[in-house]
Amino acid sequence: MTSRTIRQYPIEPISASSPVDDVLAKALLHSVKVHGTQLHGRRVWLACSGGRDSLALAALCLQLYRQAKLPFLPQLLHVDHGLQASSVDWATHVKKWAQAQQMSCTVLQATVDGHDEQAARLARYQVMRAHINQGDVLLLAHHADDQAETVLMRLIQGAGVNGLSGMQSWRVQEAGAQYNVLWRPWLSVQRTTITAYAQRLKLPYIDDPTNDAGDNVRSGLRVHVMPLLKTYNPNTIQNIARSAQLLSDAQATLSDQAEQDLQQAAAHELALSCAQQVLNIDALHILPLHRQRQLLHHWLAQDEPLPPSKQLVDDTLALTQRNDHDHQTQLHWQGRTQQYHIRRYRQQLYRLSQTWLEWLNLPIAVHRQPLSHNVSFSPVLRTGKGYRWQLKCVADSAFQPLSQLQFLLNQQECASGKSAFSTDIKEAKDRLVLQATPLDRQQRIQTALATRPQSGKKLYQTLAIPVWLRASLVVISLVNAKTDEVLPLLLISPFESWVLGQKKSDTKAEIQPNTVISSTLQPYS
């Protein structure tokens, strides 16, 4: 990189009479047409390294804009990686060139964590994303030779259909709440065409000889492998780029199919964004084997920028196929954004983030509140490490919770026959306390799913609570402050709730406790 040089042409405004290159113009304008609707009303930036390709793209945009063939003129963004002393000179050079063309150009400083190309690329995208606005479009000068190198690189790494479809010409990139578009209109044009155009225009582009040093995989493929492949087929570059395009279409079909399968097989009620995703194994196994693999691949990486390895998909599939009731085995996956544990409990497959598992181990606080306070009861049950779990007793103007609690209590009393709670709740409210406590393993609980009260292991089995959720069960009870009698009303987990005090045979009473008491779980920082 230190040996970069500037083409020995002076910086001059591009003459209005300079001819545009037909092939390059056609590719750009075709892409504008294809993405016309999405481009409408968006600001377009052009990532300009000052190298031949991005300087040529900037020059072509300018020419077509002046000829009123392009409806916008992109603003240039140059990133100074600060990796070598001369990088300031390159930034100054790009800026001066842009000034000569009367194009807007901003130089951004990046802090690169490491010295390799990948670290520089990550830092570059990060700093450009931070500069542009939500929904803006970033033009990149990648071309067919870049595409062919990318595909070959991925091929020798053993990529699947997605990887082999190479770079996308229009890619929405999401980072947190922000999204931008990466736009590559030149993926079908060859480097030689760009070089010829740049030379015709006498563009003073920056030459980076390290690109052709052959000392890393990409430049090795460029210098040693591509020329050899061209001896077998002179159209090697276009052909590989075309294969990538075909595979990209195939990938879109596969993704649509996997998304449809996911809608059928996902346990949406148990999902919590990247914290917990759940797949129903029975629904998975209905599918043919190749779709099972595809679905697992899609499910594992649904919110991750990088795909899971084939090995992980195979191991996950094997986990779903076990029938030895082993609930301890877990697989680990270090994604780009999070570390995940893949576990199975009965016929459900879980993808749990490390942060979520840590949150599930935080203690739950005990809360008590006299009913006479007439205010809604909404204690925070657990908070920290990114999530807040809060109880909600919905109160409307007529103090609805009490009348609904009365209804609930009536049902409980039928089942329990407890006299301490048989008086009208409004009269009794002075001595009643609403309480939320973590479930004690020894506590015996009567649910509608069993004929008698259960405690510990049996209860977890009856309610199908996976091991990692067992410390996250809370009992909501009414306590008679005078007699200390406790009447459990509801058992809640972060995802479900169960009415307590009913035997199997009493289930005809249709109680919907969630209209009275529910809990919410939200990301929290």
Ligand X SMILES: Nc1ncnc2c1ncn2[C@@H]1O[C@H](COP(=O)(O)OP(=O)(O)OP(=O)(O)O)[C@@H](O)[C@H]1O
Cα 361–chain centre separation? 24
Return the residue nearest ligand X (CB atom). 51
Q: Which residues are annotated as a binding site?
A: 49-54
* Residue 124 in the binding site for ligand X (CB under 6 A): yes
Residue from 49, 147, 248, 411 touching ligand X (CB under 6 A): that is: 49
Rounded (5°) CA angle 87-88-90: 65
**Least distance from ligand X to the Cβ atom of residue 33, Å:** 21
Q: How far is the CB of 143 from ligand X (least distance, A)?
A: 8
47 binds ligand X (CB under 6 A): yes
Closest approach, Cβ 212 to ligand X, in A, equals 10
Selected binder of ligand X within 20, 25, 28, 51 (CB under 6 A): 51
Name the segment binding ligand X (CB under 6 A); options: 52-60, 96-104, 473-481, 494-502.
52-60
Evaluate whether 498 touches 387 at the Cβ level (below 8 Å): no
- In the complex, the smallest distance separating the C-beta of residue 336 from ligand X, rounded to whole angstroms, is 20
Determine the straight-line distance between the first and last CA of the chain, rounded to whole angstroms.
41
| Residue placing its CB nearer to ligand X in the complex, 47 or 393 | 47
**Dist CA 41 CA 71 (whole Å):** 11
Q: Which amino acid, 471?
A: A
Decide if residue 24 touches ligand X (CB under 6 A): no
- Quick check: 4 binds ligand X (CB under 6 A)? no
Packed helices 52-66 and 87-101: angle between N→C axes, nearest 10 degrees:
10
CB of 51 to ligand X, least distance (A): 3
Q: Which of residues 165-224 bind ligand X (CB under 6 A)?
A: 208, 211
- Minimum Å gap between C-beta 520 and ligand X is 43
Indicate whether 127 belongs to the interface with ligand X (CB under 6 A). no
How far CA 304 is from CA of 86, 297, 454, in Å, comes to 36, 11, 41
Q: CB count, 10 Å around CB of 364?
A: 17
Q: Which residues fall in the annotated binding site for ATP?
A: 49-54
Q: Which of residues 471-500 bind ligand X (CB under 6 A)?
A: none
Per rule CB under 6 A, is residue 301 in the interface with ligand X?
no
Tell me, by CB under 6 A, how many residues bind ligand X: 17
Residue reference for tokens 């052009």: 46
Instruction: Find the binder of ligand X among 27, 141, 381, 439 (CB under 6 A).
Output: 141
- Considering only 140, 201, 265, 434, the residue that binds ligand X (CB under 6 A) is 140
Q: Hey, what's the torsion of the CAs at 227, 228, 230, 233, to 10 degrees?
A: 180
DSSP 424-437: -HHHHGGGEEEEEE
Cα dist from 181 to 20, 36, 174, 178, 372, whole Å: 26, 13, 9, 11, 56
Q: How many CB atoms lie within 10 A of CB 207?
A: 16
Q: Does 79 bind ligand X (CB under 6 A)?
A: yes
**Contacting ligand X within 86-105 (CB under 6 A):** none
Kindly calculate the radius of gyration of the chain based on its CA atoms and give it in whole angstroms. Answer: 31
Subset of residues 360 to 379 that bind ligand X, contact rule: CB under 6 A: none
Chain residues that interact with ligand X, rule: CB under 6 A: 47-49, 51-54, 77-79, 124, 140-142, 146, 208, 211
